[in-house]
Structure formats: structure tokens, C-alpha cells
Homo-oligomer: A and B are copies of this chain.
Amino acid sequence: MTRLRVHNLAVSLDGFATGERRTVEAPFGHAGGRLMQWFFPTRTFVTASGHESEAEGSGTVGVDDALAATTNLDIGAEIMGRGKFGPHVGPWPDEEWRGWWGDEPPFRTPVVVLTHHERPDLVLGETTFHFRDLAPADALDLARELAGGLDVRLGGGPTTVRSFLEAGLVDEMHLVLVPIVLGRGVRLWEGLEGVEEQFAIESVASPTGVVHQRFTRRR
């Protein structure tokens, strides 16, 4: 059976995985770039975002990069919540919003976008977005079909990850504990008391200040 995997999910000391007041200009709300600061200098990010010519050269290759580099390995499809696709709520005002990522989104696989407001499939470069109103288990069935025998990545945001954790569907999860107190935003762990019993958990502290945690489902 292929696996459902979460990668690079950053969480503050107080358990928030995104900030408050998300907008087109601020995808993480008042958290700004603070939750992903560890990620930006990595070779994985620098390469994927085409910033190789910038001051940081080809990016760092330490602990942070080693963990980040597993993100795309053997992934055949992604599931994301509508909140990751865009900052809007409710019916689509029009279909002009085509995600944050421009004409060539970095996914390059089918992507299932969970939304109560379905719209036609959207093809952008090598990525196809499927907008569907599905429960977690059904979304996973669809993504598995689309993934062609490879794993499925659960891309977030926190509300979506929480619903798949609640349904017991997550096989692997990579969290990044960032030593900041956000104070407000979306709590990852709400309603998940005891969820750690489903997983073996390993932690490693990075010299950059964050702590990586790998959750692996107990069989």
C-alpha cells in the first residue's frame, strides 16, 4: 500500500501552524515568513524556486535540507485544503485565482484541492488541480488513483492535516518546531488528544534553531 505523507509542516511553540488574517499578500497571515525561515536557505528550496544565482549560492545542505529533500521523493499526487490554494473563503468570486504559484506550479503531479465549492479542473504547466468536495478517506482514494502507484503528499494547511489525522489516515509526518510564540492563528493539534499513540516519533535538533520531528505510523 502506498503512503500518505506530510512534509515541512512548521509549528510554533504554542502549536499554531499558520497565523491570523491570511491575505493574498500574506499567505501565513501575521506569522509572515517566520514559520518557514528555516526552509528558505536550503538547497531544496533554492533549487525548486529557481533562485540559484542569488547570494546564497546553491543553498545549504545541512540537517534542514536533508529533511526538506525528502518532500518530493516518490510522490505521485498531492492533497491540499482550499486554504493552501488561496486565501479566499466561500463561493469562488470568479475563477481568475489560479493559486500562488504562477504558470508552472512546483507540484508537477495531480493535486486534489478540497473545497465545498467545486470548479472545473485547472491545468497549469505540468500540474492539474482537481477541485472536489470530499471527505478525507474519499479524497485519499481519488489521490491514490491519480498517483499511479506512488505516494500521496498531504500538503496542508493545518486544518486539512488535522482532519486526516483525526481520520487516522496519515502514515508519515514531518513537523518542524519553530521556537516562536505566535499567539494566534490555526492550531494544529485541536481535538487530537492522544493522537501520538498512532505514531513512533523521532526528534532531531538542527543547529539553525528548529527541531525536526518525524512521525511514523505504528503498524
- Contact in complex: B209, A194 (CB < 8 Å): no
Q: How many copies does the complex hold?
A: 2
When A182-B193, A187-B14, A196-B179 are in contact, do A203 and B201 touch as well, CB less than 8 Å?
Answer: no
Nearest residue in B to A199 (C-beta to C-beta)? B179
Tell me which residues across on chain B come within 8 A of A179, comparing CB atoms.
196, 201, 203, 213
Q: Considering the chains assembled together, what is the distance between the CA atoms of A130 and B94 in angstroms? A: 67
Q: Which residues of B contact A15 (CB under 8 A)?
A: 13-15
Instruction: Report the count of interface residues on A (CB-CB < 8 A).
Output: 30
**Whole-angstrom distance between the alpha carbons of A179 and B189 in the complex?**
12
Residue of chain B at shortest CB distance from A30 = B193
Contact of A183 with B by CB under 8 A: yes
> A182–B193 Cα gap in the complex (Å)?
5
The 10 closest A-B pairs by CB, nearest first: A183-B193, A14-B189, A203-B205, A179-B201, A15-B15, A14-B15, A205-B205, A181-B189, A203-B211, A180-B196
